[in-house]
Amino acid sequence: MSEFAAELVGVSKRFGPVLANDGIDLAVARGEVHAVVGENGAGKSTLMSILYGLHRPDAGHILRSGTQIRLRSPADAIRHGLGMVHQRFRLFPGLTVADNIVIGAEPVTGARLDRAAAHRSVTDLSDRYGLRVDPAALVGTLPVGVRQRVEILRALYRHAEVLILDEPTAVLTPGEADRLFEVLRTVAAGGVAILLVTHKLTEVLAAGDRVTVLRQGRVTGRFTTADTTADDLVHAMVGRSLPTPVPRRATPDAAPALDVRDLTVRDADGVTRLSSVSFSVRPGEIVGLAGVAGSGQRELIDTITGLRDGGDRVLLDGTPIHPGRDPRVAYVPEDRHARGTAPQMSLAENLLMGEQRTLATRSGLPRAAVRERARDLVARFSISAASVDVPISALSGGNAQKAVLARELSRGSRVIVAEEPTQGVDVAVRSRVHALLIEARDQGAAVLVQSSELAELRELADRVLVLFEGRLVAEFGGDATEAQLGQAMTGVSA
């Protein structure tokens, strides 16, 4: 029997023009926590999806305890003792914790579910690994950290011998993350092989035994954490020692372009999502917005962009924001597919949104003008597309994101709000997006960037604001360390 619980040998996978995985070899041993790191778009998620049967590789194969296996579906993967905790949880909100864990291998008496047995199994497992859950609770009512425990318990219940965790700490506070790593150590000690996918280096060094680094679909480094430094990893990840520092400009003394005064927002259930938030952004500065997911970012940004009515608490150049969409605010939304684009409409028509009334003449909306404007933006923002008439869904993710930025930045808005502006794009697009935001700032725009990637905020922002449970709990200069930000994000006052 092989010493490795699972091995990927020479795995390649292509999506259209993108070679997501290019001949990757990766082996994980029983009882080890093996970190897989790389920047967004380096091919980590694709590789893990292949190992869990969600994608089939174009080339290469998978070994399980030394024997070659074929995975056509997650069902196959589960049968072969593989388990996965997805970045976006695969849980059923309307079912109980116990049902969520046992589903697929339910204890039954006849046709009937044996719920008592299910609860017993769940309680046993959660005691053994210190993963506290209430088996009878509805998953939809649980906080994010607990949902993740349910996913881990599900994999353990199915006797996973290889456990894949895809960016498990993205939704956790640093404290919760530390507890998760303890649990993973316990699980590994029981002989399970753990693959920890992340792009956070501190985690890798704290929790991993070995590390495999991916860049642009290839393995660029293999390390043992004991004798590795963060610098080695960064070098392997980005191909240079340190990110080039972005020249910062001193915060100008101009009057604020965006002024939020004592904003409180309650949701439908009367729960306070934002309480007494006040801050301002001046022309010529980039302000970063940090916080654990669900700390009020969504509500704050929807109010600033006018999509949610904020009364007169949000001022643009001293006047209240127009409800509906205010053209003085450019907005790059987090979800490109749901909000940023209409996938089936052409690139030209996607680039038009918001400007349709300015381009209209008395006889309507001239097609030539619409195309002309689109071609101009395509050239200025170096969007690569076959033509402006193709559906935007035919563009790569990075180009679609550039198109969204092109549309928003070309309007010359005073205020720019960008949510997760580089999520799911490759390194080249990422630096291009950053350059565009910086250029807009230098031209006098007030820029607010929300990102869950602290490194991104540190690279871009002149100041960083931290939201915690709907309150603005801290403000840092652009030179804040990730540790400082992380503490503030968990409510530990700096």
Partner 1 sequence: MNIVEWSLLAGVLTATAPVLLAALGGLICQVAGVFNIALEGQLLWGAFTAVVVSDLTGSAWAGVLGAITATLLFAGLLSVASVSLRADPIVVAVGLNLLALGLTAFLMRQIFGVGGTYSSPDLAGLPTLAELGLDLPVVGPQSPLVPVALALVAAAAWWLGRTRSGLRVRAVGQHREAAEAVGLRVGGYQHGATLVAGGLCGLAGAQLALGNVTLFSEGMSAGRGWIAVVAVMLSGVRPGRLLLACLLFGVAEAIGFRLQGVGLPQQAADAAPYVITLVALVLAAVAGRKRRGNEGEAL
Partner 2 sequence: MKVLSPSVVAVAGALALTTLVMLAVGVDPALAYPALVRGAVADGNLEYTIAAFVPTLGMALAFALPLRAGEFNLGGDGQLAAGGITAAAFALLVPLPPVLAVVVPLAAGTLAGGLVAALAAPLSTRLRIPAIVSTLLISAPAVSLASYLARFPLAEQGTGIAQTPRLPEHAHLPALTEAGYVTIGLPLIVLLTGLWLYADSRTVLGYEIRATGQNREFAWYGGVRVNRVAAYALAGGGGVAGLVGGLIVLGPPYRFVDGALTAPGYTFTAVAAVLLASARPVVVPVAVALLTFLQVGGQGMEREAGVPSQLTQIVQGLIIVIVAVLATVRARRGARA
User: CA 168, CA 148: separation in Å to the nearest integer?
Assistant: 8
Q: Residue type at 58?
A: D
Shortest approach of partner 2 to residue 374 CB, angstroms?
Answer: 13
Torsion sign, CA atoms 190, 193, 197, 200? positive
3-state secondary structure (DSSP) of residue 362: coil
**Cβ 95 to partner 1 shortest distance, Å:** 6
Q: Total binding residues for partner 1 by CB under 8 A?
A: 32
Long-range contacts of 300-308 (CB under 8 A, 24+ apart): 300/260, 300/263, 300/265, 300/274, 300/467, 301/331, 301/417, 301/419, 301/448, 301/450, 303/260, 303/263, 303/265, 303/274, 304/258, 304/260, 304/329, 304/415, 304/417, 304/448, 305/329, 305/331, 305/417, 308/265
User: Binding string to partner 1 for residues 427 to 446, with x set by CB under 8 A, is what?
Assistant: --------------------
Contact footprint for partner 2 (CB under 8 A): 305, 307, 324-325, 327, 331, 333, 338-345, 349, 352-354, 356-357, 360, 363-367
Which option in partner 2, partner 1, none does residue 84 bind, with CB closer than 5 to 8 A by kind?
A: partner 1
Counting contacts by CB under 8 A, is residue 338 touching partner 1?
A: no
Quick one: 112 or 362, whose CB is closer to partner 1? 112
User: Which residue lies nearer to partner 1 by CB, 217 or 306?
Assistant: 306
354 binds, among partner 2, partner 1, none (CB under 5 to 8 A by kind): partner 2
Write down the least CB distance from residue 479 to partner 2, Å.
34
Helical H segments across 208-281, by residue range = 230-238
Between 79 and 128, whose beta carbon lies closer to partner 1?
79
With binding defined as CB under 8 A, does residue 240 bind partner 1?
no
How far is it, in rounded angstroms, from Cα 12 to Cα 22?
5
Could you say whether residue 111 binds partner 1 (CB under 8 A)? yes
At closest approach, how far in Å is the CB of 136 from partner 1?
Answer: 14
φ and ψ of 360, to 5 deg: -70, 145
91 binds, among partner 1, partner 2, none (CB under 5 to 8 A by kind): partner 1
Dihedral over Cα of 288, 290, 293, 297: its sign: negative
458 touches partner 1 (CB under 8 A): no
Phi-psi region of 10 (alpha: psi -120 to 50; beta: other; left: phi over 0): left
Q: Is 92 in the site for partner 1 (CB under 8 A)?
A: yes
Q: Does 75 help bind partner 1 (rule: CB under 8 A)? A: yes
Q: How far apart are CA 368 and CA 165, in angstroms?
A: 50
Binding site for partner 1 (CB under 8 A): 52, 73-75, 78-79, 84, 86, 89-95, 99, 103-104, 106, 108, 111-113, 154, 267-270, 302, 307-309
